[in-house]
Amino acid sequence: MRDDFEQRLESGLRLLADRAPTAPPDLMARVRARRPRRWWKALAAFVTTGALVGTGVIVTSPGGGPAPRPDIEKASHSVPLLMPDGRRYDVVAMIDRGHALIRTGERDRTDGLWSLDLATGRPKRLVAVSTPKGSVINFWSAAVGEGQLVWWTSRKVKGKMTTTFFAAPVTGGRQRVVAEAPGSPLDHTIADGKVIWSPGGTGGVYEVPLSGGVPRLVKGTEGMHMLQWPWVGTPPFRQKKPAIVNGEILNALTGERRTTSGWSAPAQCSVTWCMSRDRVGLRDGTRVRAVPQMFLADPPALDRFVLPRTPGRGLIDLATGRTIDLAAEDNPVLDYRMKALTYVKGGRLVIVDLAAVPGVNP
């Protein structure tokens, strides 16, 4: 049985970047096998293709006619692939519709957080980041909200993983320590003046005031993890996983519970959707469609967007039913905790602000 450190290390390594020579902490999320994309042919029965101008993206739409002008184009931004000084960077969050939060640094030593102007491609440093000595895992996504930026690093202290949460004004300034907590977070967010997160291993959702203090367990979340706050569900690192991951979820603020219907194991669910190896659909078993060889992709980002692990590289928009076909050589990257999709095109980085893509409620 693996200990907590090994589980956290595995989680960190899965999210380390494949951008040599530096390796950002989301590598395995970026490394996707370049296998044949035959599975997209299975969608031909209900899609018609249309080109997204200037991006190399193909959008498909259910129905018999051509897809309308893709909404995703309005949310896409082409920016330089490198910093002005030639360094690489990683997108870790969206600040607002016109700015992405990026970070720079060598391997596990982040040295700066920057605001990247999506219109001009110019970066502005917000925080000169200082990483604690001995850190082995760094944040792969940051939280933005209530005028603050929050990120974390994890290190081993007396044989156990310990996480330090940091914050700084979204307009820029010095970093400050918010709190230290056991374990290493799977995800974190800002809500109601608090930093909220769930660690791996035994799970549980914890909170601490943005101003700092002692972390406390959110009542009723024992053994659970943050799915999409305030919804919590099954920790993905349990030794004995349930038949359907997140088959039942809980709203930690209201006490509402949601269960699934019509799904059999193996499957995993987000707040709204469920996925098996070859199907996606709503929790109640409706609006199900076949997606052959999806191989249980990561949970939908924003409870909406799915980038299957293998063998294809297309982005599925569950809210609209469209698929966005990305070329393998573009190396599309989507972490389910983030609100941005990135891929490389024409020697530039394309950042898609997923929260800005219009959609429809299921």
* 278 inside domain: yes
Neighbour count for residue 187 (Cβ, 10 Å): 21
The CATH code of the domain that includes 306 is 2.130.10
* 96 inside domain: yes
* Number of alpha helices (DSSP H) and beta strands (DSSP E) in the chain: 2, 30
* 339 inside domain: yes
Contacts of residue 161, defined as CB under 8 A and 6 or more positions apart, other chains included, come to: 4, 5, 8, 137, 154, 155, 182, 183, 184
* 358 inside domain: no
Structural domains of the chain, count: 1
Amino acid in position 203 = G
* 361 inside domain: no
Per-residue model confidence (pLDDT) at position 64:
37
* 288 inside domain: yes
Range of the structural domain that residue 90 is part of: 4-353
* 359 inside domain: no
Cis peptide before 66 (omega within 30 of 0): no
Spell out the SS3 assignment of 161-182.
EEEEEEEEECCCCCCEEEEEEE
The pair of three-digit structure tokens given for residue 124, joined into one six-digit string:
């502005």
What's the average pLDDT block by block, 10 residues per block, for the chain (362 residues)? Answer: 41 36 35 31 29 41 43 90 96 96 86 97 97 89 97 93 97 98 94 95 92 96 94 72 85 96 90 90 92 73 84 77 80 88 94 87 42
Closest CA to 94 of 358, 360, 353: 353
Per-residue model confidence (pLDDT) at position 337:
86
CA distance 89 to 297: 25
* 18 inside domain: yes
Q: Say what the pTM is.
A: 0.80
Per-residue model confidence (pLDDT) at position 313:
58
Query: In DSSP terms, which residues pair with 164 in a beta bridge?
Result: 153, 180
